[in-house]
Amino acid sequence: MKKQILLASLLSALSFPAMADGFYILGDIGQSNADYEALDGYSLEKDDTTYSIGAGFDLNQFASIEVTYRDLGSFNDRGNDGFDSWSDTLSVTALQASIVGRLPVNDVFNVYGRLGFANIDAELDISDNTGLPDEQESDSKTRGLFGIGASYNLTPEFALNAEYSQYAKWDDLKLSALTVGATYHF
């Protein structure tokens, strides 16, 4: 019995590099945009820094699947109406899964499209000088996402990319990101 367990462990260890073939890690940084338009006429458009980390698996040379954590940033609004002043901060993160379709232009350059879903978490902190306690609200929704981008392979393992991503509208909020990043294939 011990020999069978040892043999199974050895065979598993030897096959691990083959299983790693196709897996990759990724990360990016860039600028996110939040565009909010309420029914009462209030609107807000702000930019902040966004970043993501994730992992993917190449299904073939044309398609892969990815799971990513993205911090879309914090968007601040301050104001004064003559009587009261206020400060609102909206912080947004997302856990997203997508399929990426690639079109190789040549041996080192690809264009791609992304289609997937994102579980978006938003936290809103509202403070003012009215003497009332500060308000905090949070909500989570799953929304679709799409993106377009291009990648350049520096080596067979390492690539640089640039991408624009758009998230499906959440009530009155539109989110998007313009990023540059890298992938490393095992």
Per-residue model confidence (pLDDT) at position 133: 72
pLDDT in tens, 115-135: 999 999 988 887 777 767 777
CA gyration radius, the chain: 22
Per-residue model confidence (pLDDT) at position 64: 97
* Residue 11 included in any domain: no
pLDDT at 155 over 90: yes
Domain extent, residue 29, equals 21-185
Per-residue model confidence (pLDDT) at position 127: 78
* Residue 121 included in any domain: yes
Strand 135-153 relative to strand 173-185, pairing:
unpaired
CATH number of the domain within which 32 lies:
2.40.160.20
Domain total in the chain: 1
* Residue 72 included in any domain: yes
Q: Among candidates 90, 77, 74, 72, which has minimal Cα distance to 167?
A: 72
The CA–CA distances, whole Å, from 128 to 40, 42, 47, 50 equal 20, 17, 23, 27
* Residue 1 included in any domain: no
pLDDT at 6 over 70: no
Per-residue model confidence (pLDDT) at position 103: 97
* Residue 15 included in any domain: no
Per-residue model confidence (pLDDT) at position 119: 96
* Residue 69 included in any domain: yes
* Residue 13 included in any domain: no
Per-residue model confidence (pLDDT) at position 16: 46
pLDDT in tens, 51-75: 999 999 999 999 999 999 999 998 8
* Residue 129 included in any domain: yes
